């Protein structure tokens, strides 16, 4: 089969011929229906030189959906042809965190298929005709009304901001404000998740006009261009109080500075983007009792909740599809800021 592989850190991915995967006991091979192109893949191609518990070569694509193709011994309840989404962070399955479905924060990395990674992040991902999923528990049958192209981005571009928003629900009652910085793949879904699950007013910040317009189309109440006046504009829009919750889907020096400047006392400032910025924390800044946290992806139960929101039409990934032989082009368009929503590679 054909697969888009990252051969080494700091390299361009290559479309190459590889053997078809075969399922071992407990495993499942899916025929890939959609594989989202995440900005994290650009960080893998451009920024990382190691420092992770896993390394290339591997097939890219960590947000995937498709159809059950072949099941290994002992797998029951997944008929070939069933449409499924792949839960991407693969933990050990038995530690305390994994038993609660929080496989992102598995505490037994030696028992996981790849420590703190998954398919497309150390093991082979979905930018190929077929993908090996090492345990049937990582597959969620798609609810009616969702196909693999629509579902693929939900497994990361929606699941990640969903987890970040969900943990801040208590801070988002009527009258509150949430700010989403970066309205790309994750951000345009963060806006919809906030609208569907909270009563907060939603303000987006993005450098690109087309991303701000996309966010407004998807329900944002207000869009702001970054720059000297951005913090003042956000403070003004909140009656001077600031934002109760800020989800920074960029994570650069300047976006974290903006987040710290607009946070409301007692608020949440959540770092989701991995652009490598730092936020100084002193007694007076960010404002009193602002909680700062980073979040990684989401939990297994949360993926079912995200799929339910989408099946009921409450959130929807805006998708541009590309065949597998144009996946590199899709990444270039993502890198050049020429896309809105998510690029999804359709290998079959
Ligand atoms: P994307 O390229 O689709 O979207 C990023 C958006 O941010 C773009 O619209 C861009 O115009 C905007 N932007 C860039 N710099 C900006 C700035 N200085 N101010 C305002 N807006 C700016 O990327 P994505 O796939 O949505 O990923 C976003 C980030 O989240 C990446 O760093 C990615 O690696 C990271 N990520 C983290 C997790 C996690 O689990 N924490 C999961 C997925 C992705
Ligand atoms: Zn990702
Ligand atoms: Zn575990």
For 186-234, write each residue's pLDDT tens digit. 999 999 999 999 999 999 999 999 999 999 999 999 999 999 999 999 9
Nearest CA, atom 34, ligand 1: 40
CA of 254, closest atom in ligand 1? 18
- What domains sit in the chain, N to C, each tagged with a CATH number? 2-155+298-346 (3.90.180.10), 159-294 (3.40.50.720)
Q: Please tell me the distance between residue 237's alpha carbon and the centre of ligand 3 in angstroms.
A: 43
Cα-based angle 102, 88, 56 (whole degrees, multiple of 5): 120
> Contact, 259 vs 283, CB < 8 A?
no
| Mean pLDDT in residue range 316-337 | 98
Residues with CB under 5 A from ligand 2 (ion): 38, 40, 156
Around ligand 1, the residues with Cβ closer than 6 Å are 38-40, 43, 156, 160, 181-187, 205-208, 211, 226, 249-252, 254-255, 272-275, 295-297, 334, 337
Q: Which residues does residue 14 pair with via DSSP β-bridges, in sequence order?
A: 5
Question: Is residue 317 pLDDT above 90, yes or no?
Answer: yes
Between CA 96 and CA 87 the distance in angstroms is: 18
Q: Please tell me the distance between residue 82's alpha carbon and the centre of ligand 1 in angstroms.
A: 32
- Of 114 and 312, the structure prediction assigns the larger pLDDT to 312
pLDDT score, position 203 = 99
pTM: 0.98
Nearest CA, atom 44, ligand 1: 40
- Pairing mode, if any, of strands 122-123 and 118-119? parallel
Nearest CA, atom 20, ligand 1: 206
Q: Please tell me the distance between residue 98's alpha carbon and the centre of ligand 3 in angstroms.
A: 4
Between CA 193 and CA 183 the distance in angstroms is: 13
Give pLDDT tens digits for 154-191.
Answer: 999 999 999 999 999 999 999 999 999 999 999 999 99
């Amino acid at each position: 089969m054909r697969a888009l592989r990252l051969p080494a850190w700091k390299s361009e991915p290559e479309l190459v011929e590889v053997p078809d995967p075969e399922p071992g006991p407990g495993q499942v091979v899916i025929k890939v229906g959609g594989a989202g192109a995440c900005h994290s893949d650009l960080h893998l191609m451009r920024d990382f030189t190691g420092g992770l518990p896993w390394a290339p070569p591997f097939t890219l694509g960590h947000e995937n959906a498709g159809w059950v193709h072949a099941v290994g011994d002992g797998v029951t309840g997944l008929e070939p042809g069933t449409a499924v989404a792949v839960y991407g962070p693969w933990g050990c399955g038995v530690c305390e965190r994994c038993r609660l479905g929080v496989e992102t924060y598995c505490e037994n990395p030696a028992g996981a298929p790849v420590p703190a990674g998954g398919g497309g992040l150390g093991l082979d991902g979905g930018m190929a005709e077929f993908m090996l999923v090492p345990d049937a528990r990582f597959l969620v049958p798609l609810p009616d009304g969702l196909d693999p192209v629509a579902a693929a981005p939900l497994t990361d571009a929606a699941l990640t901001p969903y987890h970040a928003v969900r943990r801040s629900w208590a801070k988002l009652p009527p009258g509150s404000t949430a700010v989403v910085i970066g309205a790309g793949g994750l951000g345009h879904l963060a806006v919809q998740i906030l609208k569907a699950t909270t009563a907060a007013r939603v303000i987006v910040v993005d450098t690109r006009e087309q991303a701000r317009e996309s966010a407004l189309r998807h329900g944002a109440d207000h869009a702001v261009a970054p720059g000297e006046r951005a913090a003042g504009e956000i403070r003004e829009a909140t009656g001077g109080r600031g934002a109760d919750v800020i989800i920074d889907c960029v994570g650069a020096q300047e976006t974290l500075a903006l987040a710290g400047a607009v946070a409301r006392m007692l608020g949440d400032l959540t770092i989701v983007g991995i652009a490598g910025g730092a936020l100084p924390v002193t007694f007076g800044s960010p404002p009193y009792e602002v909680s700062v946290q980073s979040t990684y992806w989401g939990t297994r139960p949360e993926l079912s909740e995200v799929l339910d929101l989408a099946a009921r039409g409450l959130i929807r990934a805006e998708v541009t599809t590309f065949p597998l032989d144009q996946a590199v082009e899709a990444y270039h368009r993502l890198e050049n800021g020429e896309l809105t929503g998510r690029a999804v590679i359709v290998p079959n």
